[in-house]
Every structure is written in structure tokens, then in C-alpha cells.
Structure 1
Amino acid sequence: MRYILRICGIFLLFFFFQSFSVIVLASTDRTSNFSSIDVRLTNLPWWIYGIILVVLIGLVFVLLRRKNQDLQNRIPIRREEPITKRRENPTIIPGNAQTIGSRDEQQDAFGFSDIYDDAFMQEFGVLAVLADGMGGLHGGREASHVAVQGFLDHYSQSSAIPSIPQKLISSLDAANQSVLQFAREQRLLGNVGTTLVAAVIFQHELYWISVGDSRIYLMQGESLTQLTNEHKYATELEKRAALGEISEEVAKNDPQRESLTSFLGLEKLEQVDISEKSISLQKGDSIILCSDGVYGSLSNDEILEVCRYLPTQESAEELITLVLSKKIVNQDNATVAILTID
């Protein structure tokens, strides 16, 4: 193709100069006849040169255009990748149950986002929250309810926050501020507290956050995994015992062992657990939120045995029935909230 273009270029220049010579000579010698002018190599009329010139220009144009198309065919065209279709939110089945146990009042609280609000689910997923008011402090019942409601309200209104983990952190802070505000109003600042755990299922992914000693379990098939850690003084005691600073006996019998080291109601939350990355979920997976009145009475095997065979709501009710069947002295409030992917 390069050689053809070069040859055409040479002929084009040749006939251009020929035509130019004819025109110049004709314009300087008005008595001359174009057909009789000798332009060195040929005596063709001027209009033939014009035709040849037009044909050559057209040929060069066609060849250049074809070459350009060949180049385009050789260069891979970068095509925009198709936008991945956003995964639809799965159908979520909630379940819940609780008992006051042998306590004077129910200090556990829980709540779900509206699972029938499709617009909310598409943007925020499905949220479950559970809180356990601290019985050793005043206002435990009010603190747990204020925390749950504050968390739910903030989560549903924080549309400007781009990610689920950031929304969970922001909502936890809002819940803590709600508890602190309640404590100030009741002049109980420093004497009000509650645990809180929250889980979100968004497009087959699980996100969670925790403060205190309530738990979140993930049930997948035949396995039950505890996702959260307890923020208790016992954890520090066990670390000190492992380092040889105190004996295991001292760590085991410390009267403050069960005291919480982090909970809502503190001016600054220094211990907060949050999922570092989302957990992929499949149909049949369940997320189980529970207070210590449940896991303190039941083993993990017992929880798994109930939840893997029964429907979600029946599982929640059966767990509480099983707790009560233990007839534990001074049975604590026990609450469970479950989300299952259908």
C-alpha cells in the first residue's frame, strides 16, 4: 500500500507540474493554441491533464481512506464494560422472642427496619438491632429502648453516608448520644448504660457492629460462628494471667470479672467491634442476635440444633422456651432476634 501511494504521489506531482506549465504558457502566449503547445514530454490538450489530475486525486483519496480503515481494524477498539447488574436484595425472614426471666423488669430491647419497604431495602438493606440494659445501673430499661430507637432512626436517615460500615459507626454514635442525653435529662450521667449489637444484610452481604457483651452468631449449614467479642473485664484478666502477671485462680475469681469495659452511655467509646469486611451469605443462612440471657443459658450446640431445623420465628420461640426449661436461678432477661435469607 505504501508503494502504491508513493507512485500515485509521483504521478500526481508530475501531472500537476505539467498542467501548471500548460496554463502558464497559455496565459503568457495568448496566440497559442493549447493543443499545439509542446510541454517537453507530451502534446496532450490541457483538459486531459485536468481529468487525469482529478482521477489521481480521487484515487489517492480512496487509497488513503482504505488505509485508514485497515489501521482502525488492526487497533483493538476499547469498548465500555457493561455495567454489572446490581444484585437484588434477598428475601429476609425475621424472627424474635424474649422473656423477662426472673428479673423485675425487661431491660432488653430489639428492633428491625421495615422489611416491607422495598425502597429502603434497595438503599440500606435490612437492619436488626438488639440492646441489653445494664441491670446494675439505673435506667437500664429506658437506656436499651432509647439506644435501639436512636440507632434505627439514624440509620434510616443517614442517606448521605456512602457505605454500610460508615453508616453503622455513625448510627452507633447517634445511639450513644441518645443514651447520654437521656442520662443528662434524668441526672443519671455515668449511671446509665446498655450493650448494643446490630447487623445489616445488604445484597447478600452481612455487616455488623457491637459494643458490650451481647452476641451475633452466623449460622451457615451445619456451623455456628460467633462473630463478636465480649467487652468484659474478664478479657483483660485472662490476658494478664497468660502473661504471668496474675494467677489463673485470681483471674477466675475476681469479683469484677463480669463487669463491662465498653457500653453505650460512656462519653467516649474506646472498644467497638465492627466487621472488617462484609461476609457473603447464601440462601438458608441465619444471623442470630442475642443477649447474654440466651448464650449464658444455652451452649452453641443447643442454639445450632434449634435454628438449623426450625423456621425462623419458631427457632426464636424455641430458644427462649429452652432457656426457661433450664430453670436457672436468677435467670436474666433473654432476647433473640434472627434474620434468615429465604
Structure 2
Amino acid sequence: MLNIDKYTKIDFIFLLGILLIILLIIRKILLNKINKNNLEVAKKVSIGYEEIQEDYVDVTYAPYGTLAVLADGLGKNEAGRISSIVSAKTITKMFLEEGSKEKIVYFFKKAFNKANHEIIKRVEKDKGGASVLSAVVIDDLLYYALVGDCMLAIFRNKELVKLSEGHAINEVAKREYYKGNLQKSEAVYALKEKKLLYYLGQESFRDIEICDNPIKLHKNDIIVLMSKGIYESLRWIEIEDTLGENNITLDDICEEIIEKIKNNNKFNNCNGSIILMKYFDNKSKKEF
């Protein structure tokens, strides 16, 4: 004889599961719709001529804002790939679980330190790591944090302006020289180097470049996150000209930038990744 109560309970649990999935899908659609009122987002990753893709990008939406993360892995074999994936996923997870409109600097510090710890747990000492750039857009304000040599810029009024400084030895030497902490001869020597001083995956990691004062966005600003494989493979004017093209989407711009890099002889063995976020105020509509 069939146990009707047993089957009724199973059906009820099954229906609850289906309902939960539907609610999660609706929530994601609503979040995307809310954020897309203010932002159009596109991203592209290219492996170049390398055997392993060490770049990883992610964009996620929450009720309080939009997070973009771009990670450029360092190290041999799978170490760089693991480092970039772990760092991006860790920061994204923390944004969804602990992010808010307040205490953005605190969030960046906690998330980057957590990502650093997660890499160290998974990658052999000094064998891998990642340059990581994260940008958060809340309403009309842009916040960012960076460790390594990824780059953040903003395209406004047909001009691409670099916002981040980075942690390549030559950049750090330049800053220290102007502060009076480094002799000219030492600075000149360091400027010839292109090694990274800080990156995620170091036990001695401590330095995060954080935007303490948010950047106020203007209508039609394009926020640009890019790895070294992008900005070192194209001239600045080439990136500007592509960003300034009319009547094309951000996806088309990403595709065009990657294609230009593939046709450039400098792009011999480089991964390259780019995230574009175009800001629209609440009253404006997207026009292409």
C-alpha cells in the first residue's frame, strides 16, 4: 500500500526547491535591470599565444552597487591561473555577502587580505600570485582598489585618463623619489626595472592602492579596467580612438581592442583582459 503522506512531503519539498530557484532567477534579473539603468558592462579575455589563460575577470551586481574584478595571474604552470581565479572569486563572494554602500575602504582591505590568504593556502610559496584590480560603482560614485600592475582609467570627453598608479618597481620608485625617500641614482636604476613589488599571494603582502575619495561619474563616462597585456600592447591613442567610436556597443569595442592587439607584434605571448563600464545617469537612456 502506498504511503500517501510520504509522497506528499517529497512533492512539497520538490516544489519548494523549484520555487526557490525561480525566486533566485527573478532576483538576478531584477538586480541586472536595476544596475543596467545606470551601467552598460562588457568584458573580454584573450589568451594570446600562451598555453594557459592566467587572466580572470568577473562582474557582479548587488542591490547596493556593481563590482568588477580583473585579475592577472603570475607564476609558472597553473599557479598564475589558480591565483587569479581564487582572488577574483573571493572578492566577489565577499561583496555579495558583506558589501554595502558604507565602509568601502574597509571592504577592500578585508577582501584583498582574504584573497591573499586564499592564494597562499593553494599555491606553493613564491610560485604564484596575481595582480588584482577591483572597481565598485555605487550610484554615481566610483571606488577602486589595486595590488600589482593592472590599470584603471576613465574615458571622458574623448580623453582616456589613467587613475591608478600600480606597484611595478619603476612606479613605486618614481613616487618615493618625489617624496624624497629615494636618491636620484637609485630611482634611475629602479625605473629601468619592470618587476612587481607587490601582488596578491605574498606572505609579506601589506600595500593596497585604495581610492579614499570616490570619483564622481559623469554621463557617458567609460570606466576601463585592463591588464598589462592590453595597455602595453597598444598605444594610448589607439585605445582612446577605439573607445571614442560612435554607434557601436561596448562589446564591439572590447572585440575591436582585442583584435588590434592580436594584430600587433608586441602581443607575442601575453594574456590580455579588459572590462568596460559605461555610466548613464538615471534620467538618461542609452544611445549608440
Question: Which segments of 5 or more consecutive residues in structure 2 lack a partner in the other structure?
Answer: 1-33, 281-288
1:317 aligns with 2:264: no
Deviations along 1:44-87, one digit per CA (max 9) or x if unpaired, are: xxxxxxxxxxxxxxxxxxxxxxxxxxxxxxxxxxxxxxxxxxxx
**What are the within-5 Å matches in structure 2 for residues 127-206 of structure 1?**
127-135=67-75, 139-159=79-99, 162-183=102-123, 188-206=124-142
**Shift in CA distance, 180/286, structure 1 to aligned 2, threshold 3 Å:** same
Residue 275 (structure 1) aligned to one of 197, 206, 211:
211
For the Cα contact (< 8 Å) 1:137–1:192, is it kept in 2?
no
Q: How many aligned residue pairs are there?
A: 240
**Shift in CA distance, 228/247, structure 1 to aligned 2, threshold 3 Å:** closer
Deviations along 1:68-118, one digit per CA (max 9) or x if unpaired, are: xxxxxxxxxxxxxxxxxxxx965211111121111111100000103xxxx
Structure 1 runs, 4 residues or longer, greater than 4 Å off: 236-242, 250-253
- Measured in 2, the distance between the counterparts of 1:208 and 1:333 equals 22
* 2:199 alignment counterpart: 263
**SS of aligned partner of 2:129:** coil
1:213 aligns with 2:149: yes
- Measured in 2, the distance between the counterparts of 1:325 and 1:240 equals 37
- Measured in 1, the distance between the counterparts of 2:173 and 2:187 equals 9
For the Cα contact (< 8 Å) 1:137–1:191, is it kept in 2?
no
Question: Which segments of 5 or more consecutive residues in structure 1 lack a partner in the other structure?
Answer: 1-87, 115-119
For the Cα contact (< 8 Å) 2:250–2:276, is it kept in 1?
yes
**1:320 Cα deviation after fit:** 0.7
**1:143 Cα deviation after fit:** 0.6
RMSD value, Cα? 2.4
* 1:300 alignment counterpart: 236
1:333 aligns with 2:280: no
* 2:169 alignment counterpart: 233
* Identity within the alignment, %: 23
Q: Per chain length, whose mean CA-contact separation is higher, i.e. which structure has more relative contact order (CA < 8 Å, sep 6+)?
A: 2
Residue 160 (structure 2) aligned to one of 224, 229, 236:
224
**1:246 Cα deviation after fit:** 4.3
**1:128 Cα deviation after fit:** 0.4
For the Cα contact (< 8 Å) 2:261–2:267, is it kept in 1?
no
1:102 aligns with 2:36: no
**Shift in CA distance, 243/161, structure 1 to aligned 2, threshold 3 Å:** same
- Measured in 1, the distance between the counterparts of 2:216 and 2:240 equals 20
**What are the within-5 Å matches in structure 2 for residues 235-254 of structure 1?**
235-236=171-172, 238=174, 243-246=183-186, 248=188, 250-251=189-190, 253=192
* 2:40 alignment counterpart: 93
* 1:33 alignment counterpart: none
**What are the within-5 Å matches in structure 2 for residues 65-80 of structure 1?**
none
More displaced 10-residue stretch of structure 1: 205-214 or 324-333: 324-333
Amino acid at match of 2:253: S
The structure richer in strand per residue is: 2
TM score, norm. by length of structure 1: 0.65
For the Cα contact (< 8 Å) 2:109–2:208, is it kept in 1?
no
From the CA coordinates, give the structure whose radius of gyration is larger: 1
